[in-house]
């Protein structure tokens, strides 16, 4: 099997994603009302829910750091991460289109989700189990 294409680039991507998610998670735990303040939504009566979201995203950061450490084994973590990064904005789009949330809430998906779509998708293409062995086989070339 050939080595993972763009391995160094993927390691940098997932190290950055890991650090970002951990920092975002810590901030959400420390100040669970920040999103409501900047988006124009009413302050939450249950900020613990947003703090819990921060904890979960911070834990994703730990998993992303593991992908950065060993990108040959991170396909499943990245696939789950990218799925969330697609479903989150889809759910937010629904909330905005139905008038339940203001358009200003889009700030949450720009850095949490949208900027990661291409690098995560590229990694998944490069790391797809069987892709390198199947597509790089002598019979295929």
The pLDDT tens digits of the residues spanning 55-80 come to 999 999 999 999 999 999 999 999 99
Give residue 3's pLDDT band: very low, low, confident or very high (50, 70, 90): confident
Residue 40 pLDDT more than 60?
yes
Q: How far apart are CA 57 and CA 18, in angstroms?
A: 9
For residues 65-78, one letter each, b for 16 or more C-beta atoms within 10 angstroms of the residue's C-beta and e for the rest, the string is: bebbeebeebbeeb
pLDDT of residue 91: 97
Residue 17 contacts residue 61 (beta carbons within 8 Å): yes
């Amino acid at each position: 099997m050939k080595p993972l294409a763009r391995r160094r680039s993927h390691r940098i991507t997932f190290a950055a994603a890991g650090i970002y998610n951990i920092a975002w998670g810590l901030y959400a735990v420390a100040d669970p009302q920040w999103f409501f303040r900047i988006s124009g939504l009413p302050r939450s009566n249950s900020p613990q829910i947003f703090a819990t979201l921060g904890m979960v995203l911070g834990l994703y950061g730990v998993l992303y750091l593991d992908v950065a450490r060993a990108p040959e084994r991170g396909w499943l973590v990245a696939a789950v991460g990218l799925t969330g990064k697609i479903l989150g904005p889809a759910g937010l789009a629904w909330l905005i289109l139905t008038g339940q949330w203001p358009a200003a809430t889009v700030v949450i998906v720009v850095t949490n989700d949208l900027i990661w779509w291409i690098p995560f998708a590229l990694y998944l293409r490069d790391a797809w189990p069987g892709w390198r062995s199947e597509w790089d086989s002598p019979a295929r070339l």
